[in-house]
Structure 1
């Protein structure tokens, strides 16, 4: 049986691909990715943050990531959630092999009241936490960071800057891959043939999953990032546009680039980092929009997102 969840999207103008402010979603509770497990061959620990403004701070967050968590557990990882601050002291004490931050919008802070009320937005990560996470990775840890299109990744900006990652806080669009009903937040269908799955990146080239190379990845509405070309796991096509919402609800074109990506991975000191700007790329949700069911997306029968996820966590955990 599937549970129904209704939720209000944060800023409806940013979800042009959906064209409405409220979307129904249902949890997928059936799909189980079949793979050869590495259970009992390692003792790797994954620490998932739920203290900040991530999807796991929501009551239904773990249910939407059900299959992700199951795959990690099935593959022998010790998966733990934490409500502690992510400074050097706590990260050193908990000794995770991998840290997962899933979604990182800015915190909304209301100052004053009445006519003097002022709303400001601030990253949920403190300066000590940004320094702590960067130091943790540099010394050998790994980070799996999920962002989203505006406004779901804004709070991670200080951390992205620590890793020399450029982030475009809007949403990515290419005319060859329109969003739902022609919307301006692209639904990318990524394959090695169209150059949007980089088969030469270590996450894919080493075949860590023991399976065939992922042939089709669905990336449904995300933001643009870039660092170095060799870091790109899921590069966007040339001439991808970044749309940035404006204060009055209209949409501005900020820039067009041949360098954007939706998912990158790289070594940082002795550690490793993967950043993905589609928050739902591995979640167990079906969106129900205008009578159409859209899998988001690990359980989509027409994609290999589960295979990409397994490769990603094994690469981050250095299981080679």
Structure 2
């Protein structure tokens, strides 16, 4: 068999898809064909598995199968770490790029019954946030994936340290409807609709025209913003951020903006940072919802997310 089915839990399923669990299957077939880097290099990529990222799930690596394969084919040395992100773990002598893939808050329950109180706290220790900032400033790079509510708010300390504003909800625009009218939009991003910035250094420095994506799919993510020149996948003007209400049955409009983005990239000191709020933009999953198969999304034949991924990794590791 070429595909394996699993059951995954979407904590926001009630708000996004109208159900609490979603059936999915791994794509194990797709292999992106591209010309690997010709020069030999010793670039090392460290992937955080110590916090509650996608790699804390038993099937996390399988959903990221094609990402890992592409980096391996391009000559990168990949290592997972379950260690605290301290100055030793993030030594520039050992690591060129740190990947953090998903970072929900930790849920803390205090008391019982009518006295029960639920608190949320970032899993990142203060020193880890400081060390990540120093690592990048001194020449390392960071690739941070967030998600729609509640899958990204645990990274808030990192975002603040890089002066990135984060809206912990769902990005929506009426011209880009979500699945069956959900309030979490599915964007098809192209140069023509001004949602794919081909002038950003990540894309502009591509090694060949074949690696310049013509369209990128972005399925259900949160909103971030920093500087306009940082935008790689800007959202349309007047995009709306919806934030779930505490009862989980409806949504409040938090704000609308012309400055929202789904993916940004910028220099910070001697290093580089890319932040993307679609956690599945480069993963190898098919969601099965209401008898409909939704590729998420690197293997989707109707997009070129894989080309964007190659350019992202190369730009972050200063190989282009």
Q: TM-score, normalised by structure 1?
A: 0.96
Equivalent residue number for residue 317 of structure 1: 317
Look up the SS of the partner of 2:150 in the other structure.
coil
Alignment of 1:53-92 (within 5 A): 53-92=52-91
Q: Which moved more, 1:82-91 or 1:283-292?
A: 82-91
Distance 2:318 2:209 in 1: 15
Per-residue deviation at 1:110?
2.3
Q: Quick check: 1:2 aligned with 2:3? A: yes
Q: Which portions of structure 1, spanning 4 or more consecutive aligned residues, are displaced by more than 6 angstroms? A: none
Equivalent residue number for residue 254 of structure 2: 254
Query: Quick check: 2:211–2:311 contact (8 Å CA) kept in 1?
Result: no
Equivalent residue number for residue 276 of structure 1: 276
Query: Quick check: 2:211–2:308 contact (8 Å CA) kept in 1?
Result: no
Equivalent residue number for residue 298 of structure 1: 298
Look up the SS of the partner of 1:211 in the other structure.
helix
Alpha-carbon deviations, 1:291-318, whole Å to 9, x = none? 0100000000010000000000000000
Equivalent residue number for residue 34 of structure 1: 33
Q: TM-score, normalised by structure 2?
A: 0.96
Per-residue deviation at 1:40?
5.6
Distance 1:197 1:35 in 2: 21
Alignment of 1:226-245 (within 5 A): 226-245=225-244
Q: 1:3 to 1:246 in 2, by over 3 A?
A: same
Q: Quick check: 1:111 aligned with 2:118? A: no
Q: Which moved more, 1:203-212 or 1:75-84?
A: 203-212
Alpha-carbon deviations, 1:68-107, whole Å to 9, x = none? 0000011000000000011223212872100000000001
Per-residue deviation at 1:65?
0.4
Per-residue deviation at 1:109?
1.7
Equivalent residue number for residue 176 of structure 1: 175
Q: Which moved more, 1:34-43 or 1:163-172?
A: 34-43
Query: Quick check: 1:14–1:150 contact (8 Å CA) kept in 2?
Result: no
Q: 1:212 to 1:142 in 2, by over 3 A?
A: closer
Equivalent residue number for residue 52 of structure 1: 51
Distance 2:54 2:183 in 1: 24
Equivalent residue number for residue 12 of structure 1: 13
Look up the SS of the partner of 1:152 in the other structure.
coil
Distance 1:112 1:236 in 2: 41
Distance 1:40 1:285 in 2: 32
Distance 1:315 1:93 in 2: 17
Equivalent residue number for residue 154 of structure 1: 153
Query: Quick check: 2:165–2:224 contact (8 Å CA) kept in 1?
Result: yes
Alpha-carbon deviations, 1:220-270, whole Å to 9, x = none? 000000000000000000000000011022200111100000000000000
Per-residue deviation at 1:108?
1.0
Distance 1:156 1:14 in 2: 22
Look up the SS of the partner of 1:43 in the other structure.
coil
Gaps of 5+ in 1: none
Per-residue deviation at 1:211?
2.1
Distance 1:40 1:264 in 2: 27
Q: How many residues align?
A: 318
Q: 1:209 to 1:153 in 2, by over 3 A?
A: farther
Q: CA RMSD in A?
A: 1.3
Look up the SS of the partner of 1:90 in the other structure.
coil
Query: Quick check: 2:92–2:140 contact (8 Å CA) kept in 1?
Result: no
Q: 1:222 to 1:209 in 2, by over 3 A?
A: farther
Look up the SS of the partner of 1:159 in the other structure.
helix
Query: Quick check: 2:92–2:139 contact (8 Å CA) kept in 1?
Result: no
Distance 2:63 2:303 in 1: 18
